[in-house]
Structure 1
Amino acid sequence: MENGQHAHIVKYKTFVVVLIVLLVFTFSSVGITQIDLGVYSVTAALIFAVLKSILVLMYFMHLKFDKKVYALMTAGIILLLMIVILVTFLDYLYR
């Protein structure tokens, strides 16, 4: 590659393992809806969603192998999104 860029080759086995973990998380998040956890049902579903998002970002979007500044920018955007959602919920709660 030109200009000192490095190509990172990920083994297919890694992608298969991540795919299997994503499928397990997906079936677990569907299964958790069958259990009555009360107010924690949404929290459990969001935890599974966050874990799946992290796996997709790290492996399929190659943030694990890119420069750390890209991971920091992604984390900043996610933090900003969480703040906007929190402010929206607080606005709705205190109307």
Structure 2
Amino acid sequence: MAAAHNQNNDQNVLHPHISPTSMYLKVGGALFGLTILTVIAHQFHEALGAFNALVAFGIAAIKAGLVLLYFMHLKDDNNMNRVIFASGFFFLIVLLLFSVVDIASRALEVSPL
């Protein structure tokens, strides 16, 4: 009876996600590399023109994804936490889209000066 009781309690214990140090070093190296890539992309901001922001946001999204997956352990977590994080990003995108639509729909005013 005691063995069955202990077996049920073992299922409810939270086990930490133990990851090898080499994985953290690889992800950290990738984050440093992407940071350097961001600085290099900034050097070419005139050549990139309108795509400058798109490149910067793309690199930032990749870095955020690495941090979420590996350092915040979403890769090993359950799907409910992934849905919660994804809903936060969804509402951030909705907020940004409303801002873009608001700015794009404004009437152009010419200064009398």
**TM-score (structure 2 length as normaliser):** 0.79
Larger radius of gyration: 2
Gaps of 5+ in 2: 1-8, 107-113
Does residue 83 of structure 1 match 2:107? no
Residue matched to 1:29: 38
How far, CA to CA, are the matches of 1:48 and 1:4 in structure 2? 37
Q: Counterpart of 1:7?
A: 16
Q: Distance in 1 between matches of 2:95 and 2:57?
A: 16
2:63 aligned to which of 44, 48, 52: 52
Give the aligned residue type for 1:94.
S
* One-letter amino acid of the counterpart of residue 22, structure 1: L
CA-atom RMSD, angstroms? 1.4
Identity of aligned residues (%): 31
Equivalenced residue count is: 95
Q: TM-score, normalised by structure 1?
A: 0.93
| Secondary structure at the counterpart of residue 33 of structure 1 | helix
SS for the counterpart of 1:71 is: helix
Q: Which amino acid in the other structure matches residue 43 of structure 1?
A: L
1:26 alignment partner AA: T
Counterpart Cα distance in 2 of 1:5 and 1:20: 29
- Name 2:52's counterpart in structure 1: 41
Q: CA deviation at 1:47?
A: 0.2
Distance 1:34 1:7 in 2: 42
Gaps of 5+ in 1: none
Partner deviation per Cα, 1:32-91 (whole Å, 9 max, x = no partner): 011121100110000000000000011111111111110111011101101111111110
Shift of 1:4: 3.7
For 1:63 and 1:43, the matched residues in 2 are separated by: 26
